Amino acid sequence: MSEADRGIELLFLGTGTSAGVPMIGCHCEVCTSPDPRDRRSRPSVIISYDNKNVLVDTTPELRLQCVANNVDMIEAVVFTHAHADHIMGLDDVRRFNAIKGGPIDVWATERTHASLDRCFGYAFKEPDPAMKVFRPHLVKRNIEEPFDIAGVRWTPIPLLHGEMPVLGFRVGKLAYCTDVSRIPEESFELLKDLDVLVLDALQYKRHTTHFSVEEAIEAATRIGAKQTLFTHIAHALGHQATNKALPAGMRLAYDGERVSAKSE
Ligand SMILES: [Zn+2]
Ligand SMILES: [Zn+2]
Ligand SMILES: [Zn+2]
Protein backbone atom coordinates (compact mmCIF):
# COMPACT_ATOMS: atom_id res chain seq x y z
CA MET A 1 0.00 0.00 0.00
CA SER A 2 1.36 3.43 -0.88
CA GLU A 3 1.94 6.19 1.68
CA ALA A 4 -1.06 8.09 0.29
CA ASP A 5 -3.69 5.38 0.68
CA ARG A 6 -2.56 3.59 3.84
CA GLY A 7 -5.66 3.17 5.95
CA ILE A 8 -6.62 3.13 9.59
CA GLU A 9 -8.48 0.09 10.88
CA LEU A 10 -10.41 -0.23 14.12
CA LEU A 11 -11.19 -3.61 15.67
CA PHE A 12 -13.76 -3.75 18.47
CA LEU A 13 -12.34 -6.01 21.18
CA GLY A 14 -15.33 -5.23 23.39
CA THR A 15 -18.51 -3.17 23.01
CA GLY A 16 -20.25 -3.75 26.35
CA THR A 17 -20.89 -1.48 29.29
CA SER A 18 -19.01 -1.87 32.57
CA ALA A 19 -21.07 -4.90 33.72
CA GLY A 20 -20.70 -6.69 30.37
CA VAL A 21 -23.52 -8.51 28.54
CA PRO A 22 -24.77 -10.99 29.64
CA MET A 23 -24.71 -9.43 33.07
CA ILE A 24 -24.20 -11.60 36.16
CA GLY A 25 -27.58 -12.71 37.51
CA CYS A 26 -29.66 -11.34 34.63
CA HIS A 27 -31.80 -13.57 32.43
CA CYS A 28 -33.47 -10.93 30.28
CA GLU A 29 -34.06 -11.38 26.55
CA VAL A 30 -30.73 -9.79 25.56
CA CYS A 31 -28.63 -11.50 28.28
CA THR A 32 -29.99 -14.89 27.10
CA SER A 33 -30.03 -14.04 23.37
CA PRO A 34 -28.59 -16.65 20.96
CA ASP A 35 -27.27 -13.83 18.72
CA PRO A 36 -23.47 -13.68 19.24
CA ARG A 37 -23.62 -9.90 18.68
CA ASP A 38 -25.56 -9.64 21.95
CA ARG A 39 -22.53 -10.95 23.87
CA ARG A 40 -20.47 -7.91 24.78
CA SER A 41 -17.21 -7.85 26.70
CA ARG A 42 -15.92 -4.67 28.29
CA PRO A 43 -15.10 -1.70 26.00
CA SER A 44 -11.77 -1.63 24.19
CA VAL A 45 -10.49 -1.33 20.63
CA ILE A 46 -7.36 -1.92 18.59
CA ILE A 47 -6.48 0.85 16.15
CA SER A 48 -4.14 -0.41 13.42
CA TYR A 49 -2.06 1.06 10.62
CA ASP A 50 1.09 0.00 8.79
CA ASN A 51 0.76 -3.46 10.41
CA LYS A 52 1.02 -1.89 13.87
CA ASN A 53 -1.64 -2.39 16.56
CA VAL A 54 -2.35 0.19 19.24
CA LEU A 55 -4.50 -0.98 22.15
CA VAL A 56 -6.98 1.52 23.57
CA ASP A 57 -7.83 0.57 27.19
CA THR A 58 -7.14 -2.75 28.91
CA THR A 59 -10.37 -4.40 30.06
CA PRO A 60 -10.74 -7.29 32.53
CA GLU A 61 -11.25 -9.50 29.43
CA LEU A 62 -8.08 -8.35 27.62
CA ARG A 63 -6.54 -11.82 27.39
CA LEU A 64 -9.71 -13.42 26.02
CA GLN A 65 -10.23 -10.52 23.60
CA CYS A 66 -6.69 -10.77 22.18
CA VAL A 67 -6.84 -14.54 21.84
CA ALA A 68 -10.28 -14.41 20.16
CA ASN A 69 -9.13 -11.80 17.64
CA ASN A 70 -5.57 -13.03 17.00
CA VAL A 71 -3.99 -9.87 18.37
CA ASP A 72 -0.43 -11.17 18.63
CA MET A 73 1.44 -7.92 19.19
CA ILE A 74 0.79 -4.31 20.19
CA GLU A 75 2.90 -1.22 19.68
CA ALA A 76 1.57 0.80 22.63
CA VAL A 77 -1.35 1.20 25.02
CA VAL A 78 -3.48 4.37 25.14
CA PHE A 79 -6.00 5.06 27.91
CA THR A 80 -9.26 7.01 27.74
CA HIS A 81 -9.66 7.12 31.56
CA ALA A 82 -9.07 4.94 34.60
CA HIS A 83 -12.46 3.38 35.40
CA ALA A 84 -12.15 -0.30 36.32
CA ASP A 85 -13.82 -1.58 33.13
CA HIS A 86 -11.09 0.19 31.11
CA ILE A 87 -7.92 -0.64 33.07
CA MET A 88 -8.17 -3.88 35.06
CA GLY A 89 -6.60 -6.10 32.39
CA LEU A 90 -3.35 -4.12 32.24
CA ASP A 91 -1.32 -6.94 33.82
CA ASP A 92 -2.04 -9.12 30.73
CA VAL A 93 0.10 -6.74 28.66
CA ARG A 94 3.11 -8.64 30.05
CA ARG A 95 2.56 -11.23 27.28
CA PHE A 96 3.29 -8.51 24.72
CA ASN A 97 6.45 -7.55 26.65
CA ALA A 98 7.55 -11.18 26.48
CA ILE A 99 6.85 -11.43 22.73
CA LYS A 100 8.53 -8.09 22.03
CA GLY A 101 11.40 -8.65 24.43
CA GLY A 102 11.19 -5.05 25.61
CA PRO A 103 9.14 -2.32 27.29
CA ILE A 104 5.81 -0.96 25.99
CA ASP A 105 4.69 2.69 26.09
CA VAL A 106 1.52 3.59 27.96
CA TRP A 107 -0.08 6.90 26.96
CA ALA A 108 -2.50 8.56 29.42
CA THR A 109 -3.23 11.85 31.15
CA GLU A 110 -1.54 12.57 34.47
CA ARG A 111 -4.84 11.91 36.25
CA THR A 112 -5.21 8.48 34.62
CA HIS A 113 -1.56 7.62 35.32
CA ALA A 114 -2.12 8.42 39.01
CA SER A 115 -4.86 5.73 39.12
CA LEU A 116 -2.79 3.27 37.08
CA ASP A 117 0.06 3.79 39.59
CA ARG A 118 -2.23 2.85 42.49
CA CYS A 119 -3.21 -0.49 40.90
CA PHE A 120 -0.23 -1.30 38.68
CA GLY A 121 2.71 0.72 40.04
CA TYR A 122 4.89 -2.44 39.89
CA ALA A 123 4.44 -2.61 36.11
CA PHE A 124 6.10 0.78 35.56
CA LYS A 125 9.28 -0.04 37.50
CA GLU A 126 12.49 -0.73 35.62
CA PRO A 127 13.03 -4.51 35.90
CA ASP A 128 16.12 -5.88 37.65
CA PRO A 129 18.26 -7.30 34.79
CA ALA A 130 19.36 -10.19 37.02
CA MET A 131 15.78 -11.38 37.51
CA LYS A 132 13.44 -13.00 35.01
CA VAL A 133 10.38 -10.74 34.66
CA PHE A 134 6.88 -12.14 35.09
CA ARG A 135 5.16 -8.79 35.13
CA PRO A 136 4.55 -6.07 32.58
CA HIS A 137 7.37 -3.64 31.77
CA LEU A 138 5.65 -0.36 30.94
CA VAL A 139 6.88 3.14 30.19
CA LYS A 140 4.84 6.14 31.28
CA ARG A 141 3.97 8.62 28.50
CA ASN A 142 1.94 11.71 29.41
CA ILE A 143 -0.75 12.97 27.08
CA GLU A 144 -0.77 16.76 27.08
CA GLU A 145 -1.29 17.48 23.39
CA PRO A 146 -1.39 15.54 20.10
CA PHE A 147 1.25 12.80 20.08
CA ASP A 148 2.65 10.27 17.59
CA ILE A 149 2.65 6.49 17.78
CA ALA A 150 4.58 4.65 15.05
CA GLY A 151 4.67 7.79 12.92
CA VAL A 152 0.93 8.53 13.03
CA ARG A 153 -0.63 11.49 14.80
CA TRP A 154 -3.09 10.85 17.67
CA THR A 155 -5.26 13.82 18.62
CA PRO A 156 -6.81 13.69 22.10
CA ILE A 157 -10.48 14.75 22.16
CA PRO A 158 -11.52 16.21 25.55
CA LEU A 159 -14.88 14.73 26.64
CA LEU A 160 -16.97 14.81 29.78
CA HIS A 161 -18.04 11.55 31.45
CA GLY A 162 -20.43 12.96 34.06
CA GLU A 163 -18.17 15.46 35.85
CA MET A 164 -15.01 13.57 34.94
CA PRO A 165 -12.78 14.78 32.10
CA VAL A 166 -11.83 11.83 29.86
CA LEU A 167 -10.31 11.51 26.41
CA GLY A 168 -11.50 10.31 23.05
CA PHE A 169 -8.95 9.98 20.24
CA ARG A 170 -8.82 10.90 16.59
CA VAL A 171 -6.49 9.03 14.25
CA GLY A 172 -6.80 10.04 10.61
CA LYS A 173 -10.48 10.12 9.70
CA LEU A 174 -11.49 7.88 12.57
CA ALA A 175 -12.46 8.88 16.10
CA TYR A 176 -13.12 6.74 19.18
CA CYS A 177 -15.21 8.46 21.87
CA THR A 178 -16.36 6.07 24.58
CA ASP A 179 -17.63 7.00 28.07
CA VAL A 180 -19.07 10.40 27.28
CA SER A 181 -22.15 12.27 28.49
CA ARG A 182 -21.20 15.66 27.01
CA ILE A 183 -18.95 16.79 24.17
CA PRO A 184 -17.46 20.23 24.87
CA GLU A 185 -18.01 22.76 22.08
CA GLU A 186 -14.26 22.94 21.23
CA SER A 187 -14.14 19.18 20.78
CA PHE A 188 -16.73 19.24 17.98
CA GLU A 189 -14.08 21.15 15.99
CA LEU A 190 -11.75 18.15 16.30
CA LEU A 191 -14.43 15.76 15.03
CA LYS A 192 -15.04 17.30 11.61
CA ASP A 193 -14.77 15.39 8.34
CA LEU A 194 -14.69 11.84 9.77
CA ASP A 195 -15.15 8.57 7.90
CA VAL A 196 -15.87 6.68 11.12
CA LEU A 197 -17.08 7.92 14.50
CA VAL A 198 -17.35 5.50 17.43
CA LEU A 199 -19.54 6.94 20.17
CA ASP A 200 -20.92 5.91 23.56
CA ALA A 201 -24.61 4.90 23.55
CA LEU A 202 -25.51 3.09 26.75
CA GLN A 203 -29.27 2.55 26.65
CA TYR A 204 -32.55 4.37 25.83
CA LYS A 205 -32.95 5.62 29.40
CA ARG A 206 -31.03 8.80 30.32
CA HIS A 207 -27.90 8.31 32.43
CA THR A 208 -25.67 10.73 34.34
CA THR A 209 -22.33 9.59 32.89
CA HIS A 210 -23.15 8.14 29.44
CA PHE A 211 -25.05 9.24 26.34
CA SER A 212 -28.45 7.64 25.93
CA VAL A 213 -29.30 6.43 22.41
CA GLU A 214 -31.21 9.65 21.77
CA GLU A 215 -28.33 11.87 22.94
CA ALA A 216 -25.83 9.80 20.94
CA ILE A 217 -27.93 10.15 17.78
CA GLU A 218 -28.14 13.89 18.32
CA ALA A 219 -24.36 14.27 18.75
CA ALA A 220 -23.62 11.89 15.87
CA THR A 221 -25.98 13.82 13.59
CA ARG A 222 -24.19 17.07 14.40
CA ILE A 223 -20.74 15.49 13.87
CA GLY A 224 -21.91 13.97 10.57
CA ALA A 225 -19.32 11.19 10.11
CA LYS A 226 -19.84 8.95 7.06
CA GLN A 227 -20.65 6.14 9.49
CA THR A 228 -21.22 6.09 13.24
CA LEU A 229 -20.92 2.99 15.40
CA PHE A 230 -22.19 2.94 18.97
CA THR A 231 -20.38 1.20 21.83
CA HIS A 232 -20.40 0.79 25.65
CA ILE A 233 -23.78 -0.88 25.17
CA ALA A 234 -25.92 -2.12 28.07
CA HIS A 235 -28.22 -5.16 28.07
CA ALA A 236 -31.28 -2.99 27.39
CA LEU A 237 -30.26 -2.79 23.71
CA GLY A 238 -30.69 -5.95 21.63
CA HIS A 239 -28.40 -5.79 18.59
CA GLN A 240 -30.86 -6.53 15.81
CA ALA A 241 -33.90 -4.69 17.15
CA THR A 242 -31.90 -1.57 18.03
CA ASN A 243 -30.14 -1.44 14.67
CA LYS A 244 -33.47 -1.60 12.82
CA ALA A 245 -34.59 1.53 14.67
CA LEU A 246 -31.39 3.60 14.22
CA PRO A 247 -31.05 6.29 11.51
CA ALA A 248 -29.15 5.51 8.28
CA GLY A 249 -25.38 5.53 8.75
CA MET A 250 -25.61 4.65 12.45
CA ARG A 251 -25.48 1.20 14.05
CA LEU A 252 -24.48 -0.68 17.18
CA ALA A 253 -21.01 -2.19 16.98
CA TYR A 254 -20.37 -5.77 18.12
CA ASP A 255 -17.36 -7.58 19.58
CA GLY A 256 -14.96 -8.61 16.79
CA GLU A 257 -16.31 -6.09 14.24
CA ARG A 258 -13.78 -4.18 12.10
CA VAL A 259 -14.19 -0.83 10.35
CA SER A 260 -11.75 1.20 8.33
CA ALA A 261 -11.12 4.85 7.56
CA LYS A 262 -8.72 6.93 5.50
CA SER A 263 -5.54 8.09 7.19
CA GLU A 264 -6.39 11.82 6.47
ZN1 LIG B 1 -16.69 2.44 30.80
ZN1 LIG C 1 -30.02 -8.61 31.00
ZN1 LIG D 1 -16.00 5.21 32.56
Query: Please, which pLDDT band fits residue 132 given cuts at 50, 70 and 90?
Result: confident
Ligand 2 centroid to residue 237 C-alpha, Å: 9
State the ligand closest to the CA atom of 162.
3
Mean pLDDT on 173-183: 98
Residue 163 has φ and ψ, to the nearest 5°, of -90, -10
Burial class (CB in 10 A: 0-12, 13-18, 19+), 89: buried
Asked if residues 243 and 251 have their Cβ atoms less than 8 Å apart, the reply is yes
Asked if residues 46 and 55 have their Cβ atoms less than 8 Å apart, the reply is yes
Ligand 3 centroid to residue 164 C-alpha, Å: 9
pLDDT at 130 over 80: no
What CA–CA distances, in Å, run from 219 to 65, 207, 215, 216, 228?
A: 29, 15, 6, 5, 10
Query: Please, which pLDDT band fits residue 131 given cuts at 50, 70 and 90?
Result: confident
Ligand 3 centroid to residue 136 C-alpha, Å: 23
Q: What percent of the chain clears pLDDT 90, i.e. is strictly above it?
A: 94
Ligand 3 centroid to residue 127 C-alpha, Å: 31
Average pLDDT, the chain: 96
State the ligand closest to the CA atom of 235.
2
pLDDT of residue 1: 44
pLDDT of residue 6: 72
Candidate from 20-24, 29-33, 124-128, 161-165 with smallest mean pLDDT: 124-128
State the ligand closest to the CA atom of 38.
2
Choose among 245, 244, 246, 240: nearest CA to 254: 240
Ligand 3 centroid to residue 131 C-alpha, Å: 36
pLDDT at 3 over 50: no
Ligand 1 centroid to residue 166 C-alpha, Å: 11
State the ligand closest to the CA atom of 85.
1
* Residue 23, C-beta contacts closer than 8 angstroms, at least 6 positions apart: 31, 235
Choose among 258, 210, 156, 243: nearest CA to 17: 210
State the ligand closest to the CA atom of 26.
2
Residue 202 has φ and ψ, to the nearest 5°, of -75, -50
Asked if residues 80 and 42 have their Cβ atoms less than 8 Å apart, the reply is no
Rounded Cα distance, 164 and 134, in Å: 34
Ligand 3 centroid to residue 17 C-alpha, Å: 9
What one-letter code names the amino acid at 216? Answer: A
Q: 22 by DSSP, 3-state: which? A: coil
Mean pLDDT on 177-195: 98
Ligand 1 centroid to residue 202 C-alpha, Å: 10
Asked if residues 70 and 46 have their Cβ atoms less than 8 Å apart, the reply is no
The 10s digit of each residue's pLDDT in 27-56 is 999 999 999 999 999 999 999 999 999 999
Ligand 2 centroid to residue 213 C-alpha, Å: 17
Reported as type and span, the H/E element at residue 54 is strand 52-56
pLDDT of residue 134: 86
pLDDT of residue 5: 54
Mean pLDDT on 167-179: 98
Ligand 2 centroid to residue 261 C-alpha, Å: 33
pLDDT of residue 127: 84
The 10s digit of each residue's pLDDT in 189-222 is 999 999 999 999 999 999 999 999 999 999 999 9
Ligand 1 centroid to residue 83 C-alpha, Å: 6
| DSSP for 185-231, written as a single string | HHHHHTT-S-SEEEEE---SS--SSS--HHHHHHHHHHH--SEEEEE
What's the CA dihedral at 247, 253, 254, 258 to 10 degrees?
130
pLDDT at 264 over 90: no
Query: Please, which pLDDT band fits residue 247 given cuts at 50, 70 and 90?
Result: very high
State the ligand closest to the CA atom of 23.
2
- Estimate the share of the chain in helix, then strand, then coil, as percent rounded to the nearest 5: 25, 30, 45
